[in-house]
A and B are shown apart, each in its own frame.
Chain A
Amino acid sequence: MVFLGSYNLELMKYAKLLLSFILTIVIFFVLNTKMGTIPPIGKFLNPYNGIWQNEHDESISGEITIPGLKDKVTVHYDEQLIPHVFAQNEHDLYKAQGYLTAKHRLWQLEFQTYASAGRLSEIFGETALNYDRSERRRGMGYGADQAIAYMKKNDTETLRFIQDYADGVNAYINQLSPKDYPVEYKLLDYKPEEWTPKKTALLLMYMTKMLAGYDDDLEYTNVLREIGEKNFNLLFPDFFDITDPVIPKETDWSFIDVPQTDLPASKVVLDTITATIIKPHPDNGSNNWAISGAKSKTGHPILANDPHLGLNLPAIWYIMQLSTPNHNAFGATIPGALGVISGFNQFIAWGETNATRDVIDWYKVEFNEDRTKYKYDGTWKDVTIRVEDIKIKGKENYKDSVLYTHHGPVVYDKNFMSDNGRSGYAMRWIGHEGGNNQKTFIEMNKAKNYDDYVSALKYWNAPAQNFVFASTEGDIALWIQGKFPNKWEGQGKFLMDGSNPENDWQSYIPQAYNAHTKNPERGFVSSANQHPVDENYPYYVFNDGYETYRNRVINDYFNSKEKFGIDDFKALHNNNFNLKASELLPLMISEMDTSELTEDELIIFNEIKNWKFNNDIDEVGPSIWRQWYGKLRNLLWDEFDIEDVAMMKPYTYQTIYFLKHHSSHEYIDIVETKDKVETSQDLYLIAFKEAAERLNEIKSEKGDYKWLKYKATYAGHLLQGLPAFSRFDIPIGGDRNIVNATSENHGPSWRMIVEMTSPPTALGIYPGGQSGNPGSKYYDNFIDDWAEGKYHELNFLQSETTTAAMIGTLTLKPTN
């Protein structure tokens, strides 16, 4: 017994040892491993290299050695954490830009190129695979390769600057140890990789996709088949009954001597497409305008720009002053791209809005049996294959073979969103052309006058932009710049037969014939994503979702009086007038039969009756309008709700036009109610009752339905709006189609006003902050002022010795 007892005791000891050992291993494993969305807690929270090491502002003084610099670079930071960079030559300047952008925005800088390249599965695992496949089939990596190849062949100088930028980014990355990685890397448990010139090309592709990656050709094709040509032309006209184009109507085009491509006898391919790839936000757009000296209170031209993009944190823009002894530029940069994108120098100011031209077309291609050839011009042409090797976190790689035709990549085929074994849809996109977009900004930053501006623009292919311009010499101008196919009438509005050579893009509009205006008589230029030109422009342009409200408010404003000053510009940026509502609401109010309303509904009805069409935060009108119009639109276009067919509903302007002018059209009727034919009055009433019900629900959820709470504008962190790193319920009015275009998560991402004094004086603000670190007070410190409609003065330093009001100076030094 004694023997057995001691044996048991011994056994117990080993069991305890084993148990405590297992426990130790388990706790190590649990704390060291990412589980689902939970970061590896031990790594993440420990004080030496976890998130606690990110609990500080960036250091902004001292000396740093950067390999490859030719000379010393001085960087003064002002109190907004804007770096003012003084380099002795351009190579050092772009090294410094790369270094500083990485220093303050590394995670965002890299993440955006992962998103562009279709590499999110590497970070998030299989959930991102479909996104990655879409981006790769869209040819994002292919387009970036084309751009690099073009520069290697035609412009090694620009490529060297891009390499300088890469060297700067890498100099920063190489200085980091894991404890210094931005907090998002720790959260997702990965680390930064080397930056390459291709990443800059990918970033430019990302912008091209965001701004010139939207199209509805396949949806139009379905709509045409479903509703027939007559109804299609009524609901989707090439031009609306009113146009207030970017380039003034009275422009003389007689200098253009290259005609539009002749119309071939080509037929639309009426296929049924069930779904299409994810598209960029349709509201991606912007405002810009400039007034001449004669129209300005001070006699100096004044220019303004506000690009409307997703409201994200870290913000898309990073403000910098970038100077060498030969030039001095200041304004908004985009992490990943060189130079200032929207800004000014000592002589000129410039800014962009999206030109929204149709530069994506779709071709149906038919393959041979083993899909190695496709039909073209009566013969068979070889397919080339690009194998997309997609790395997936925690899984084997996914290999996707994308077939390329002379049109471009076959996005939809039997392997992706289609089940037709022998055919597919190929995408022709200007984004695949290669080119030298980066050079435009490098040259624009140095431009001294109108001629320099025009020659800088020549390199710009895509995304097509309305480039506004003003100079200290007193010129104002606006060029719609991009590489545009010279299309035949109607070309590319619908899916085309890819075997017919007549359907190919035949030629491009010569760059000099791109629509533009310089010092127009009316004394101002402006653009707000509306129609670029009226019907008199000699090339084919059709309405592909053009804006029809902001442009009219802006142009009416500048026609309303003689002289304008900075305060007028601020007021216009922050203008909340809802022109759209003002054009339909009076009709809805007067036509609806109010005797059918309950007491509760009457209260809401009286509220909207008293609304003066301003989308201010303390109004209830905007919320009621949104609900009422939204329900009305759904009831009206119920003919467009067809299962498994990708459709699109008519644009707002044409919807309102239709209600006003075609109120007895068969589409007014609600299809579902077989025994009753509804009139537009009926629709207004049904929509109102539905809207009132929803508004009362919102009231019980949120307390009230004032515009502030209804819209609840937020700036969401790039990681799917991670609440901890986002800002919610930002008190700002406006909405889409309003000059202050702030909707829920989209709006003026940078507001700039530049007066062309010598040197220019400028104001600027954006909804974010200069630091990408959620642990920095500079992460989101501009948001409150931005929401209030305030601006910050941009301190345009004329030499590096001026250090007034600077909070730190960083010196970048060469190795020896």
Chain B
Amino acid sequence: MKKNIFNFIATIVLASALSYVLPWWSIMTAALATSLFIPLKKAAVFFVPFLAITFFWASYCFIVSSANDFTLAKRISTLLELGGNPYLLILVTGLVGGLAAGITAVFGKQLALTLNKK
């Protein structure tokens, strides 16, 4: 459990640090790194980075958007056929990031297992 929490926090910290030098896929790089250096087990391999980035991106977007009365979020939500609901767009944004991070972490885990065997 402790490792899960540690990975969760590290993924967010690393992702936000890397975002200054890398494009959007900095979250994938962060998830790869944490999966290699803070290895988790079973479902946690995917779900911890998934939840970390979903939480990180969604709360980031919420803070930015609420400061502007969700003006653009409502429009983009209409654009992406999410019914004009800004919260749904925020959630989707989080899930997109989370999914990318989670999948990369699974790859990281497999990579670690393969490397460790040799």
* Residue ranges of A at the interface with B (Cβ–Cβ < 8 Å): 10, 13-14, 16-17, 20-21, 23-24, 27-28, 31-32, 41-43, 45-57, 183, 187, 722-725, 773-777, 779
Instruction: Identify B111's interface contact among A17, A42, A45, CB under 8 A.
Output: A17
How close is B89's CB to chain A, nearest CB, in angstroms? 8
- Set of chain A residues within 8 Å of B111, measured between Cβ atoms: 17, 21
Q: Are A48 and B19 in touch, CB under 8 angstroms?
A: yes
Please give me the residue from chain B that is nearest to A38 by CB atom.
Answer: B80
Task: Give the interface SS of chain B, mostly helix, strand, loop or mixed.
Answer: helix
Q: Are A775 and B24 in touch, CB under 8 angstroms?
A: no
Does residue B99 face the partner (Cβ distance < 8 Å to A)? yes
Query: Please, could you name 11 A-B residue pairs with CB atoms under 8 Å apart, sorted by A?
Result: A14-B114, A27-B103, A31-B96, A46-B97, A47-B60, A52-B73, A55-B72, A724-B78, A774-B71, A775-B72, A779-B71
User: What's the count of A-B pairs with C-beta under 8 Å?
Assistant: 119
- Known contacts A17-B110, A45-B92; A28 and B25 CB within 8 A of each other: yes
Q: Are A46 and B24 in touch, CB under 8 angstroms?
A: yes
Interface size, B (range): 35 or more
Q: Are B79 and A20 in touch, CB under 8 angstroms?
A: no
Does residue B40 face the partner (Cβ distance < 8 Å to A)? no
Q: Are A777 and B69 in touch, CB under 8 angstroms?
A: yes
Instruction: Identify A54's interface contact among B26, B69, B72, B89, CB under 8 A.
Output: B72
Q: Are B76 and A28 in touch, CB under 8 angstroms?
A: no
- Set of chain A residues within 8 Å of B79, measured between Cβ atoms: 187, 722-725
Q: Are A774 and B72 in touch, CB under 8 angstroms?
A: yes
Most buried by A among B68, B76, B109, B117: B76
CA distance A27 to B60 in the complex (A): 22
- Set of chain B residues within 8 Å of A21, measured between Cβ atoms: 107, 110-111
Q: Are B106 and A28 in touch, CB under 8 angstroms?
A: no
- Set of chain B residues within 8 Å of A43, measured between Cβ atoms: 23-24
Q: Are B61 and A776 in touch, CB under 8 angstroms?
A: no
A-contact 0/1 string along B22-42, CB 8 Å cutoff: 011111100000000000000
Please give me the residue from chain A that is nearest to B69 by CB atom.
Answer: A777
Q: Are A24 and B103 in touch, CB under 8 angstroms?
A: yes
Q: Are A47 and B93 in touch, CB under 8 angstroms?
A: yes
Q: Are A42 and B110 in touch, CB under 8 angstroms?
A: no
How close is A809's CB to chain B, nearest CB, in angstroms? 22
Q: Are B110 and A16 in touch, CB under 8 angstroms?
A: yes
Please give me the residue from chain B that is nearest to A41 by CB atom.
Answer: B96
How close is A729's CB to chain B, nearest CB, in angstroms? 15
Most buried by B among A43, A52, A187: A52
Q: Are A49 and B67 in touch, CB under 8 angstroms?
A: no
CA distance A16 to B111 in the complex (A): 9
Does residue B8 face the partner (Cβ distance < 8 Å to A)? no
- Known contacts A52-B64, A55-B64, A57-B68; A31 and B100 CB within 8 A of each other: yes
- Set of chain B residues within 8 Å of A14, measured between Cβ atoms: 114
CA distance A47 to B63 in the complex (A): 10
How close is B69's CB to chain A, nearest CB, in angstroms? 7
Instruction: Identify A775's interface contact among B26, B71, B104, B107, CB under 8 A.
Output: B71
CA distance A76 to B78 in the complex (A): 34
- Set of chain A residues within 8 Å of B104, measured between Cβ atoms: 24, 27
- Set of chain B residues within 8 Å of A23, measured between Cβ atoms: 103, 106-107
Please give me the residue from chain B that is nearest to A777 by CB atom.
Answer: B71
- Known contacts A42-B96, A777-B69; A24 and B75 CB within 8 A of each other: no
